[in-house]
Chain A
Amino acid sequence: MAACEGQIAELYANCTNAHPNFGVTIDDFTEGVARGIRKYLLKLGDASAPSVDEIRRFISELQINDLYLSLGCAAGNEHAWWEFDRTYRPYIDRVARHLVGNRVAADEAIDFVYAELFGTTTAGGARQSKFRTYTGRGTLRGWLRAVIWHALVDLYRQREAEIPLDQCAELNEGGDVVSTRTSVQASEELMLEKIVRERYRVATVAALDQSLTQLEPHETLLLMYYHVDGLKLREIARIIESPTSPMRRWFKRSGPAGSKKRSERVHESTVMRWLEKAYRKVAQAFCAELQNKHGLKRAEIELCMAMATEDLGQTVRIKSQASTFNQSRTTRDAKSNR
């Protein structure tokens, strides 16, 4: 850190020239930068101590103006707050309205977010402003999106008895889950069929779980973003598009050598191809698992493959209509990208 004092002082000077009345001292500023270094280079970095060059690069990548503003707001400086409010309030409004649906609830949510940002608790005599957790590694705007989401989840959890989470516009979309039990059939014939079916169901679930473990973590995350969190291909493409995205690095690394330039744009069709590659990987592992471990024949494997599209977990999503939704989504997205 000592070797980077000059760099920090220069950045500080630029910030104070632009906003001299935010009340941020050089010590506050240095501590703000140091917090990010401790978190991302020491805690989340590899075991060895970062080199001076790594620290310098890290500092140069910080969203320094955002960090400076957040430090002023954390200290309760009125000018910093005014600047924050002027710049970000309309954005916070839009995000909150998008998430909660109606204006009254949105206004309440915005107040809650501001309360979090300002700090409602004290520790050791110091007000605990949420701004103190911002390190400037990502953008302040992106950070606000996450803070608003967290605040809304907390707000609605507090009031779960009054307002169920699933009544909140986006807070629980896709969460309308009901339990449906396969009705018990009386006849022995059906009972027998049920037992046989259960055997295949158990094998299908086990094989599917096992084959999912064959995926790399970034492939699993891709599948989850797409199938569980409902992100669209273009949304996934957008995060992977960032040249520094770890997911981009992983996918490019596993792709054909020299086939794409690192700076090339990631299209939705590319994400679809990655998804399809993951499907193929799982399908192959799934069939092999059923054949080798469970001793099933081809016809039985096909039966299990068909069962995989059914309700294996005794629960279905009303909104998504389980398989039909997902199947149509996969097919539609695939078509739209061809």
Chain B
Amino acid sequence: MVSPKEQNEQIAVGIAQRLQVRERESLRLSEVDHLDADTIVAFVEGRISEPGATSITSHLIVCPACRRASAKVIHLESVIPDTLETDTQIESPGTLREFISSLASRILPETEDDVVFAYEDPSSDSLPSDEPAKPSLANEKPDDKSSS
């Protein structure tokens, strides 16, 4: 006769096995609309009220990719200190300017025009700031940090 404790342990193992098998099966299913990073972190940080929280929970049960992402967010929070450490090596925006310029040259873009448009158009300084496609990274002389 199996004791209740043994039964509990057996069913725990059974549940784990079954959930893992179902996970692999659901991975083979077609893609569904995934939760974005904003929604995942809002859920994990307890910022979503009903009925949104219930619908997200239901999604996490059937979508391994999103559940795994949410599990990672939780796990990373526990293993990586959440201190507001700043990097003292970066002493001015100039360092960042170089970084972004080099980054931009690698990642941007589909056409050469876009590079010039995004980084070398002097007129971008005078653009309204709600024009996101025209940052003034390469032209503007940044103010001293103390001004911010």
User: Which residues does A use to contact B, with CB under 8 Å?
Assistant: 19-25, 27-28, 39-40, 44-46, 61, 74-79, 81-83, 85-87, 89-91, 94-95, 98-99, 111, 114-115, 118-122, 125-127, 129, 132-135, 137-139, 141-143, 145-147, 149-150, 153, 170, 177, 204-205, 208-209, 212, 217-218, 220-221, 223-225, 227-232, 234-236, 238-239, 242-248, 275-276, 278-280, 282-283, 286, 302, 305-306, 308-313, 315, 317, 322-323, 326-327, 330-331
Contact = CB atoms under 8 A, between A and B. Distances in A.
A111 B103 contact: yes
Nearest to A334: B9
B13 A122 contact: no
A279 B140 CA distance: 62
Interface in B1-53: 2, 7-24, 36-53
A89 B87 CA distance: 7
Contacts of B55: 44
Contacts of B108: 120
A118 to B, nearest CB: 7
B116 interface: no
A239 B38 contact: no
Nearest to B102: A111
Given A98-B79, A122-B109, A21 B93 contact: no
Nearest to B68: A229
B52 to A, nearest CB: 3
The 8 lowest CB-CB distance pairs between A and B, nearest first, are A76-B135, A308-B14, A44-B52, A313-B21, A246-B53, A138-B41, A146-B37, A245-B46
Nearest to A152: B72
B80 A91 contact: yes
Nearest to B84: A87
Contacts of B41: 137-139, 142-143, 145-146
A98 B15 contact: no
A90 B22 CA distance: 38
Contacts of A94: 80
Contacts of A177: 24
Interface in B77-103: 77-80, 82, 84-87, 90, 92-93, 96-97, 99-100, 103
A78 B97 contact: yes
A20 B147 contact: yes
A134 B21 contact: no
A24 B64 CA distance: 37
A296 B69 CA distance: 41
A40 B17 CA distance: 35
A269 B140 CA distance: 56
Nearest to B61: A220
A60 B119 CA distance: 37
A142 B44 contact: yes
B122 interface: no
A309 B143 contact: no
A279 B8 contact: yes
A61 B100 CA distance: 32
B77 A246 contact: no
Interface in B96-118: 96-97, 99-100, 103-104, 106-109, 114, 118
A244 B47 contact: yes
Given A83-B148, A87-B84, A212 B42 contact: no
Contacts of A223: 15-16, 19
Contact of B80 (A89, A98, A310, A323): A98
A232 B78 contact: yes
